[in-house]
Structures are given as C-alpha cells and as structure tokens.
Amino acid sequence: MNKFKYFYYMFIIIVSIITINTYASYYYGENINFTKIVQKSSFSVVKISTIKKSLYSINILPENKIPEILKKFFGKVSGINIGYISNNNEVYSIGTGFIISKDGYILTNAHVVKDFDKIIVKIKNNKDYYAKIIGIDNKTDIALIKINEQNLPVINIGNSDNIKVGEEVAAIGSPFGFDQSITSGIVSAINRTLPNDIYVPFIQTDVAINPGNSGGPLLNIQGKVIGINAQIITRSGGFMGLSFSIPINFAMNIANKIKNEYIST
C-alpha cells in the first residue's frame, strides 16, 4: 500500500512539473516572441507623410540647425513638434497610423495630420495614397483619415479594458522615418493622466517611442492593438523609458463619433 502511494504521488509530481513547464513555456517563451504577430499586424500599419506650406518658422528649427538624419522626420516629443523647412518653404513631417476598415479608414494622432496641406499614406507594399481627413478631436489627440482603396488588411482590435500592468507589448511605427520598425517592452501603469492631456487615461509603457512613432499601434501578445502610441516624456529629446498610449477602446469610441459626425472638427 505504501509502495502504491509512493508511485501515485510521484506520478502526480511529474505530471504537475510537465504542466507547469508547458504553461510557463507558452506564456513566457513562445508568446513573447512577436515574430508571427508582427508579420501579420504590420500589413495594417501605415507610414504617414505630411506636407504644408510655411510662411513662418516659429517653433520650427531651420534646416541648417538640424542633424541630417532628422531632416525628413517629425513627431511629438513631450508636446514639442520637430520638423524642418525645405528650400521651397515646405514643412515635412512623418507619423504612423493603422487601418481599421477594409474600405480605407485609418486611425492616427491628431497632431500627426492637423494643419497640413497634403497627407500621403504608404502601406507595406510601398504603394502611396493621398488621404483626406474625416475628422479630428483635438482634446484627445485622435484623428480619423481615409484613403480611396478597398479590401485592405485590417488590424485586429483588442480590448484595452483587459490590460494588466507588467504584460508584454510591442509597438510598430516609423521612428525618424524608418517605417515598419518594431520595439517591445511592458505595461508600466494604466489610467495615467498627463498635465496637458486631462481627457485621456493613458497607458504607460517602457516601449521605445520616438518622433515618427506617433499614431502607431501598441500591440499585446495576441497581436491585437490595445493602444495608439501618442507621446513620451523626455529631458533629452529622445526616448527615456516613459511612453504613453491612448487606450484603443477610448480611441475607437472617439473614431466612431467622428465618423458619425458627433464630433465637429
């Protein structure tokens, strides 16, 4: 009888160890490898280039004062816009967005497209489209734009209400114009309120976000978008480990209101 109990308990222990190892491998091994997730989601992520004529150079650095690598790039860094004026007095900028419907609706940040004369969207197959602004909500920094195309790959929308502090996340964007760039990290906090953005309950992460990432998706380990990468807090002008994203549930609610003309621009 004692021998039977010994083998019985040994069997239980072995099964438990196998189960725990399998669980750990699934959640802490395979799932934090974003390779397949990114390959699928990246087709729905777009690079947004914007152009406007400039009569003044206020808050915009002159071309000869900007490092060569930055001259084509633009983003929001702790509320500061960085761009450059070309010889023909045009201001260029770069941002990111993602496709939320097959017929060409794209979600991004308001500061990426606001006040620009031309908006050019580049999808992953390198095809360019002119986009029009459907609507902008300045209070929440959310914009809905549209390109004239059908049967586009739509990003998988997640549920930002289920976000847990400590979970792995990844961002896809165009930092400094390098489109389809991937960075990853963890959720540091949720429901953050920033001094100048009292309307948005931000997701805080340590994902590397830089100028040009604005408007891009924050993805969970299932490849679902849970936020829009919006801004960082920095003292150096570059990434310092404090990135903030707009929860996707919040953003989609605003986007639907814009689409249905409940929000005026």
In a domain, 221, yes or no: yes
171: domain range? 35-42+156-258
Looking at the fold, whether 136 and 228 belong to one and the same domain comes out as no
pLDDT surpasses 90 at 40: no
Task: Tell which of 99, 118, 147 closes a domain.
Answer: 147
Collect all residues with Cβ–Cβ distance below 8 Å to 123 and sequence separation of at least 6. Answer: 43, 46, 99, 129, 152
In a domain, 25, yes or no: no
263 pLDDT band (50/70/90 cuts)?
A: low
Average pLDDT of the residues in 38-51: 90
Domain of residue 89, CATH code: 2.40.10.10
Looking at the fold, whether 52 and 143 belong to one and the same domain comes out as yes
Residue type (1 letter), 73: F
Count of domains forming the chain: 2
Per-residue model confidence as pLDDT tens digits over 55-66: 554 444 444 544
CA distance 77 to 9: 59
Indicate the average pLDDT of the chain: 80
Specify whether the CB–CB gap between 255 and 100 falls below 8 A. Answer: yes
Task: Tell which of 147, 179, 194 closes a domain.
Answer: 147
Residue type (1 letter), 134: I
Specify whether the CB–CB gap between 135 and 202 falls below 8 A. Answer: no
Query: Which residues are tagged catalytic?
Result: 111, 141, 214
Looking at the fold, whether 214 and 134 belong to one and the same domain comes out as no
Task: Tell which of 147, 174, 194 closes a domain.
Answer: 147
80 pLDDT band (50/70/90 cuts)?
A: very low
